[in-house]
Amino acid sequence: MTLATRLTVAIRSKATMAVAVLMAAASMATAPAPAQAGSITYTTAKGATTTGGSVDAKAVFTLKTNEVDITLTNLLWNPTDDAQMISALKFNVSGASGTNTASLTSSSGNTSTISSGGSYTSGVATNPLPAWNATNAGTSLELNALTGGKPKDLIIGPDSAGGFSKSGSYSNANSSIIVHDPVVLGSATFVIDIKGVTSDSQLGSVVFQFGTTSGSNQSDGVLSVPEPSTMAMGLSAMAMVAGALVRRRRRSA
C-alpha cells in the first residue's frame, strides 16, 4: 500500500469515527432520561394551572440507602391565591415497603408572615417545619402539610421582584394566602427514612398538590431533561471538533 493510500485510509477512518461519535451523541440526546440514581428533577408541566391560576414548581429527589431527600421549590412569582402554594407532593419509589413506615426525619425552610397589602417579614430558618409529615402505603409516598388544624407552612414562590429580599412584596396576595401563616419562602428540604429504597430505586407518578384541600388542585410532575437547545449546542460543538480533526488530517496528508 502506497503512502498516499495509507493517508487516505487514515483520513476516512477519522471521518467515520467522527460521524459515529455524533450519531451516538444524537442517540443519547433523544433517549429518555432514566428516573433513577443521582439527583432527579421533576417539574410541573408548562402552562399548568389550578383553581387559583398558574402554578410552577420543582422537586429535586436524591435517592440513598433507606432514604429519600427532596428539595421542593415554588417558582411562581407573586401568587394570588393559596391554590398556588405547594401543600403536598406524592410519588412512587420502588423498593419501599410496609404501610406508614416512612419517617420524616428532617424538614427545613425559611418561614415568614405575609400581611394585608403584601408586605412580609424576613425569612427565619425553621427546622422542623411542624405542619409537614410523610406517609406511605408500600411504594406510594406522600409529603403533606395539611394534617391537623389550620393549614400552614405552605411553600410560596418569589415576591413581585422575583426574590425574598423584601425589595418586592406579595401585592397580588388575597386573603386566602394571608390567613395561612407562616408560609415557607421559596424552598423546603426534606429527608424521609424509608426501608427498602436504594440509589438504584425507580421514581415515578410524581404529583404536586397546591392549596388547602387534600386531593384537589393537583398537577402531574414531568421528568426534567436537558433543553433541546442545550443538546443542539453540544452536538454542534462536537461537529466542529470532528470537522477540525478531519481537516487537520487532510492538511497533514
Indicate whether 83 and 119 sit together in one domain: yes
**pLDDT above 50: residue 219:** yes
* Domain coverage including residue 234: 3-31+228-252
Euclidean distance between CA atoms 197 and 195, whole angstroms: 6
Q: Total structural domains in the chain?
A: 2
Indicate whether 16 and 44 sit together in one domain: no
pTM: 0.77
- Over residues 49-83, the pLDDT tens digits come to 999 999 999 999 999 999 999 999 999 999 999 99
- Over residues 117-169, the pLDDT tens digits come to 999 999 999 999 999 999 999 999 999 999 878 899 999 999 999 999 889 99
**pLDDT above 80: residue 85:** yes
45: left (phi over 0), alpha (psi -120 to 50) or beta: beta
Indicate whether 139 and 115 sit together in one domain: yes
Contact between 193 and 183 under an 8 Å Cβ cutoff? The reply is no
Residue 123 is given by DSSP the state P
Percent of the chain surpassing pLDDT 90: 70
HSE-CB for 201 with a 13 A CA cutoff: 27
Indicate whether 240 and 195 sit together in one domain: no
Q: Counting Cβ atoms within 10 Å, is residue 31 exposed (0-12), middle (13-18) or buried (19+)?
A: exposed
Indicate whether 83 and 47 sit together in one domain: yes
pLDDT of 252: 57
Indicate whether 70 and 84 sit together in one domain: yes
Indicate whether 83 and 107 sit together in one domain: yes
Indicate whether 14 and 138 sit together in one domain: no
Q: 128-137, 196-205, 222-231 — which is least confidently predicted?
A: 222-231
- Over residues 11-24, the pLDDT tens digits come to 455 444 444 444 44
Indicate whether 173 and 142 sit together in one domain: yes
Q: Compute φ and ψ for 233, nearest 5 degrees.
A: -60, -40
Euclidean distance between CA atoms 114 and 178, whole angstroms: 6
pLDDT of 131: 95
- Could you give the 3-state DSSP secondary structure of residue 209? strand
